[in-house]
Structure 1
Amino acid sequence: MRLVILGGGESGVGAALLGKNNGYDVFVSDKGKIKKKYKDVLIHNGIEWEEEQHTVSKILNADLVMKSPGIPDKTVLVKDIREKGILVVSEIEFASQFTDALIVGVTGSNGKTTTASLTHHILKQELEVGLAGNIGDSFAKQILEKNYPNYVLEISSFQLDDIVAFKPHIAIITNITPDHLDRYDYQFQNYIASKFRIAENQTQDDYLIYDADDDVIANHLKKHPVQSTLLPFSLTKTIENGAYIDQQNINITIDNNKIIMPTANLALEGKHNVKNAMAASTVAHLLKIRKQTIRESLENFQGVEHRLEHVVKINKVQYINDSKATNVNATYYALESMDSPTVWIVGGQDKGNNYEELFSFVNQKVKAVICLGVDNEKLISTFGNMVDTVVETESMSEAVKIAYKIAEPGDNVLLSPACASFDLFESYEDRGRQFKNAVRNL
């Protein structure tokens, strides 16, 4: 069997190793440059590879193609592969056939990383469990090297687009808001359907945990019922089977087995993090983790880098790195959780953003907007009349220096871009690290 892998990054190289180990003839092809650390692994394992090109003849003779989630279906090469009738799968689909592990799959527009990390943090206290997918070492590589009996996977819509038989025993959909619409023909419905693929192979013995306060999810479930057992969570409704909030306590009921957890000492702040905690705790309760363990884990969880990360206080000004906010909804949560006047650093590569849902928070909480992008026109026209100060910058160090001048004791300086990072930075991680370095160099 010939396995061709498009993309020589973390997931591609992990799948190449797993494929070789299972007797596939493997070829890795990357249109860009492959990082040295990955090249070394391929060479060391005698796996054929190429970079900065796709040799079509070496790709179209594949029995199976695994493509990186970053490669759109619209590319000519992918169309040609499909036209030849060659199956195209994502890494999670390819890897999952080599494990019998119990899988918890987490998807959603926002909160995926935090919810997956928090779920893993709770489960690992009592179970052997790996964390993979969009996060950490690739799923394929972990199956090859660790072979955990349980996995928590953070899964993007792009990864779900290329599944066939993949089925998590427990699926979580944190929320669905417009994002990545450029990949879905600007049809929100296509993006929603993509997220719901996480449940498409589930049976009634499997579980779907979801936000019952999210109208997009609730309406989709009405029109397109799933086979799985539903365990909703809510901040506003009383839930019979699932999780809800009552007088500052999280109540979780599964098959008449109820546990109650206080929210007063949650390590993570903000309403959205109460929801993430409900989702993670529901998984833990399903998997029979002790209540005491769940509570302690919720109270000592450190959070995720670049997600509302408190960097440092300088002259009584708190600097907060939320570089992972690559869409408007993520920034909504960030601004919602600000409790003092905020200097907001925003901007980057706009994915067709509509900033309207931020207006009330900007009016209430934001004293200055610092635009950090190659093209800031939309931000300036949107927020120019709402705040006294709007400044344009094209480098992180400049943005941070201006924020330092504007902020007064008791204020926050918040990097929450609401946009992709690729106009000025390599990635949202690069953007967040540059922010932290600039702040520490003040």
Structure 2
Amino acid sequence: MNSQETIVVLGAGESGVGAAILAKSKGFNVFVSDKGQITSNYIKILNEYEIPFEEGKHSEERIIEATEVIKSPGIPDTAPLIKKLNSLNIPVISEIEFAGRYSDAKMICITGSNGKTTTTLLIYHMLKKAGINVGLAGNVGHSLARQVAENNYSHYVVELSSFQLDGMQQFKADIAILMNITPDHLDRYDYKMENYIDSKFRIIQNQTENDAFIFCQDDEIITKELKQISIQVQKHPFSIYECLPKGASLRDEDLIIKNENINLNMKQKDLSLKGKHNIYNSMAAGIAGSILGIRNDVIRESLSDFEGVEHRLEKLVNVRGVDFINDSKATNINSTWYALESMNDKTVWIVGGVDKGNDYSELMDLVKEKVKAIVCLGLDNSKIHAAFDGVINSIVDAESMPDAVKKAFELADEEATVLLSPACASFDLFKSYEDRGNQFKDEVRKL
């Protein structure tokens, strides 16, 4: 590596700061540029590592001097600065791509429109229980790049969004997991579903016949795509409808996992995570554990004592007969479909935020069956009203979380459930889905 080579990092969040630390540790000249304001904790870290940075702007004349640019997954390829870099043939990659160059660890990578965080944390839980030296990275945990710089893990469990996958070129997953593909982030993909599908299937790029691909056999988009491409990787499907000779299936009340290493049976009732969507998550995690050679008893124990994910169908408290459930992590239609499907009737549904091209008609049957009232929580609720006005008698608007919780509680009655499952991104009123969920929990506690 030439000491005169310069890495510019665009974005100074967890991903960007981690990439900067790794680049500095490998002897590159490093410069970090963030168009917004950098939080104080990341400013402190950059100063500790003596990494120069700027905030509130992108100094183009300095950025285009880069040998290579690492960009935040939140910056789209259509951004003018990225287009300029591409026109100058300056490589633009992701933090994950950069980190992968400097690690020989086994990479277990998970993507999908829904369920990827739960599955990622479940696999991490399993590997920790098995005594494996494992790191947690990507969309959850700490930056992969910073962990590669500062730790020596033998395995990483990495949750990958489509945005992160888009910036990967040579990175390879040893075990790739694709949970499902449903319309999401279409605003980022020219509203073309095929572009989003291509992005998700980058999870298997560079895999060989020695690697593993775990996927949902019940997902029509995935199975259709697999018929159209040729891959050498070892396939491990999972299904709740078909009895498969390899992978994971249901038979009567048993979850069955089969491959060259194990033949595992487990009672469905013993799974810690309930609901159809969580059976899929448990199947994918169980297959991954079996491929890694984890003992059956450890896999069973892990699938039975995992405690779930904050902001994903998180049961809160019962207030005077009304249950409250925090599903703030549901940022698309499919996630909310699973949430509504798991509800009993008499549900007050809090929905809304930044729409990503939602088709609410996909929820219509469930809404008619389960929902007694809707609270629209967003700056623009017109699409929700257009979909459900006349279908649900009680639809009200709220422009803050205190207002939404108050109105939802008033609309509920004894034995009803208030469900926050927005089906939208959070950035109109909140910093993140975590902020939205935490505000919801705070307001519920005040009732």
Which TM class, normalised by the smaller chain length?
over 0.9
AA of the residue aligned to 1:144: A
DSSP 3-state at the match of 1:113: helix
Structure 2 counterpart of 1:121: 125
The residue that corresponds to 1:285 in the other structure is 290
Q: Is the 8 A contact 2:262 2:296 kept in 1?
A: no
Partner of 1:64: 68
User: What are the residue-to-residue correspondences of 1:155-304 with 2, within 5 Å?
Assistant: 155-255=160-260, 257-304=262-309
One-letter code aligned to 1:269: K
| Corresponding residue of 2:14 | 10
| Alpha-carbon distance in structure 1 between the residues aligned to 2:436 and 2:167 | 29
Structure 1: stretches of 5+ with no match in the other structure: none
| Kept after mapping to 1: 8 A contact 2:134/2:157 | yes
Q: CA deviation at 1:318?
A: 1.2
Give 1:423 deviation, angstroms: 1.0
Contact in 2 for aligned 1:200/1:226 (Cα 8 Å) = no
Please give the alpha-carbon distance, in whole angstroms, between the structure 2 residues aligned to 1:128 and 1:340. Answer: 45
> What is the identity, as a one-letter code, of the residue corresponding to 1:54?
H
The C-alpha deviation readout for 1:84-109, integer Å capped at 9, x for no partner, is 11111101100011110001000000
* Alignment match, 2:46: 42
RMSD: 1.0
Match for residue 21 of structure 1? 25
1:322 counterpart = 2:306: no
Instruction: Tell me if 1:74 matches 2:74.
Output: no
Q: Is 2:390 the partner of 1:385? A: yes
Counterpart CA distance in 1 for 2:222 and 2:25 is: 40
Q: Give the match's secondary structure for 2:269.
A: coil
Q: What residue in structure 1 maps to residue 337 of structure 2? A: 332
User: Is 1:106 matched up with 2:104?
Assistant: no
Paired residue for 1:150, among 144, 148, 155?
155
Alpha-carbon distance in 2 for matches of 1:372, 1:117: 29
Note the alpha carbon deviations across 1:58-97, whole angstroms, 9 max, x for none: 1111111100000011111101111111111101100011
1:340 and 1:410 in contact (8 A); partners too: no
- The answer for unaligned runs of 5 or more in structure 2 is none
Matched, 1:307 2:312: yes
SS at match of 1:124: helix
SS in 2 for 1:117: helix
Q: Which moved more, 1:2-11 or 1:138-147?
A: 138-147
Distance in 2 (alpha carbons) for counterparts of 1:357 and 1:246: 29
When structure 1 is superposed on structure 2, of 381-390 and 184-193 the one drifting more is: 381-390
Please, which of 77, 80, 97 is the counterpart of residue 93 of structure 1? 97
Shift of 1:340: 3.6
Query: Structure 1, residues 357-394: CA drift from partner, whole Å, max 9, x if none?
Result: 11111111101011111111111121112222111111
Deviation at 1:256, TM superposition (A): 7.0
Amino acid at match of 2:209: Q
Deviations 1:222-264 (A, max 9, x none): 0112221110000101111111111121111112731112110
User: SS in structure 2 opposite 1:203?
Assistant: coil
In the aligned structure 1, how far is the partner of 2:144 from the partner of 2:348? 39
TM-score (norm 1): 0.99
Q: Which amino acid aligns with 2:247?
A: G
- Residues 112-161 of structure 1, C-alpha deviation per residue, up to 9 Å, x if partnerless? 10010111111111111111001121111111222210000000111111
8 Å Cα contact 2:35-2:57 kept in structure 1: yes
Give the AA of the match of 1:87.
P
Instruction: Among all aligned residue pairs of Structure 1 and Structure 2, give the percentage whose two residues are the same amino acid.
Output: 53
SS of the residue corresponding to residue 129 of structure 2 reads: coil
Counterparts of 2:49 and 2:21, CA distance in 1: 8
The equivalent residue for 1:33 is 37
Indicate yes or no: 2:56 matched with 1:52: yes
User: How many angstroms apart in 1 are the aligned matches of 2:91 and 2:386?
Assistant: 46
Give the letter aligned to residue 129 of structure 1. V
- How far the C-alpha of 1:316 sits from its partner, in A, is 2.3
CA distance in 1, matches of 2:386, 2:86: 43
TM-score (norm 2): 0.97
